[in-house]
Structure 1
Amino acid sequence: MRNITRGALALVGAGALSLGVLAAPASADLGDPISLAVENDTFTAGSWGEGVDFVVTDVPEEVDEITLTIGSAGRNGAGPVADPIQADEQTDGSYTGNITPPREVAPVAPDADGFPEYTATASYSYEDAEGEAQFVSDSVELTIEEGLSVSGPENATVGELAEGIDLEFAGFQPDESIDGDIEFFNPETGEYDTIGDFAATLGPDGSGEGTLTIINASPGNAFRVSIDATEGTVNYYVTATEDDGTIPTDPAPSDPQAGDEDDEDSPAAPTRPERVDTGA
């Protein structure tokens, strides 16, 4: 009887030791995959809310810097919607951080083809034994649900812009008063310059129609209508084209002072739009 008891005790001890070994966390090696989780992966078009919260685990001990990014991809390319940040290391070895993109790049619900797509990514880089740079990342796709929207043509001829193009507003609060800016993309500074503003009241269902008029535009000019609302911000983009619908690969300068010395050959600078109405 004592032998059985001792055997049982020995077996329990071995079992405890075995469980202890299995429970010990495995150490990740350089090059092993990392794991990204986001606590909020669904947003409503027009608002990033409180942003995206990142939690990165399975990070090798040799890594001391994890980069967090949010990017979007459309038919014609991809890029970040906010500046990358470096995650903060936690006592448990995980890395965390939050990115809240600016209102100028508010999320847009995907079209019938699924664009744009938004992705949250965590990554790190290291040098392998041969001295070659290696990159390790993990990504999570973000879901953008229908919300605020302003729709209209992606391209319009200079003449159509001068006559006015139709815009449709949807997803806003009933009878909501909205305001915003009409902006021109300045290729020299890489920023948008405000050339007009507007304010309007929408209908009882939060929708309405409007007309955007821009005079003295030049083919290749890009414009943005940025609208602030209760539920967030939404942007509409349109590019001026030639009469045949083509966009010049090297647009003429829109500011006579910044273009050719011969002012007669330089197009007039875009001016404040004549009107932006909702028709509500």
Structure 2
Amino acid sequence: TQAVASATAIAAGVAGTQEALAYTPAGEGVSAANQKKLCGAMPTAKICTRKDVAMFATTGERVEGEEAMGTSRREALTQLVGGVAAASLLGNTEPALAAYGESANVFGKKAEVNQAYTVSGEGWSTMMPAKYNPSKETEYEGQVGRWEDNFDAISNSSVVVKPVNVSSVKDLGPLEDVLNTYVTPFLGVQSFEGSTISEGGFAAGRVSSAAILDIAEADKDGKTYYYYELLSRTADGDEGGKHQLFAMAVSNNKLYILRHQAGDKRWFKGLERPIKASIAEFTVY
């Protein structure tokens, strides 16, 4: 009779909390009143936790004595260690830094990437983008070196040396005159002959154009350097245009010219920085 009464009480307690247990796992939804009711129904209950209530309500069994206490201690220790680890990770978190065109180093400091390497010749030195390889092609008279992008040969660089009867680039004339005399020939001559009406935004009868983006003069180690940056376009070209950069100086009656050409797409995908660094590093002796 006593066993039947106990079973009846247990069944009543389970039924009373069935709705509360339905919407959360492991008895999280048990109200304080129902938890107390279940604890009272559990036989010889010395420890009554949410875990005890959930297990008793679903299986009719309970975690006994020291086992329940051990489980509770293990859970507390696990939560403590997890909390410390999370706080440590969050406390040292830094943003993953990357310049445009570079990959981000998510798990550490920003990686140092070699974007250029040194090249030199008789009387001159500079740097080339890391993805450029030497080329045997000769494009210009007086060319002493040529390099090109290992992915797209549209992007390439050259060093040209010309004899002159002056001791400084200033003696060749002002920036604008030197542009017309020594820079423009590198851009080539339009081979098309015919009549066009504003073809692709070009002037009538023209299928090419060049815009001056910047010109500058600077002194370095007692020598004067001229710098030019242009953007050229052709009707049949690709890449959205070509960036043309020049640095030139005179030493020992020789005019040294460094020329860079980069397709517009490659320029904005990472070539701008190493090419401008090459222009800045160009030195004649």
Q: More helix per residue: 1 or 2?
A: 2
Q: Give TM-score, length-normalised by structure 2.
A: 0.29
Q: Give TM-score, length-normalised by structure 1.
A: 0.30
Q: More strand per residue: 1 or 2?
A: 1
